[in-house]
Amino acid sequence: MYEPYIKTILETTNHCKTPLVSPYFIGIDGLSGAGKSCFASELSSVLANSQIVCLDDFYDNTIYSIDLSEAFRVLNSLQKNTPVSYFPYDWNLRNKSSCSVYRVTTNIVIVEGVYALKSMLLPLYSFKVWLNCEATEAFSRALNRDLEFDSEIKKLWLDHWLPCEHKYVEEYSPSSIADLVVNA
């Protein structure tokens, strides 16, 4: 499904075959349910020495959103080739995990998640991708994906997250700053 788009990205990463002074960062953004995680996985499977950092790991339940400052701290460390650890959000426990994640830099770092192309993170990226998906289709996919969550999470998703995502798209127009728009 994503093969032609991945080929385009592979052409931009040809110089990443040898260790870099600074890693090549790819930002992948789109609405919930657009296919960001699937796209990132497929891309990572063909890029040697790559890793995926999911912005959902930086969810903060005290603000009901992604903690972009913490995400930036972790990503900035990776860009500076500095190992870093953090406590990812555990969606089953609905709290930060008690186990930290330790990451070291790889040649290519793929960052995927809603808000990945927000201005705070833009300076990190060498290449930016927007997954374009009709809002109704993305909504349907997200609901099907998240069926195991209870009504409290679904209500939060409908009343808070979805309106915030639409506001983000209207205000920031991430598709206009992307190097590649993928029709998902």
Q: Domain extents for the chain?
A: 3-183
Q: Which CATH architecture has domain 3-183?
A: 3-Layer(aba) Sandwich (3.40)
Per-residue confidence at 13, pLDDT binned at 50, 70, 90? Answer: confident
Can you tell me the distance from the alpha carbon of 77 to that of 49, in angstroms, rounded to the nearest whole number?
17
Inter-residue contact 160 to 152 (CB < 8 Å): no
Inter-residue contact 11 to 47 (CB < 8 Å): no
Q: Convert the pLDDT of each residue in 33-57 to its tens digit.
A: 888 999 999 999 998 889 999 999 9
Q: Convert the pLDDT of each residue in 109-163 to its tens digit.
A: 999 999 999 999 999 999 999 999 887 776 777 667 665 566 776 777 778 888 9
Can you tell me the distance from the alpha carbon of 76 to that of 90, in angstroms, rounded to the nearest whole number?
23
pTM of the model: 0.88
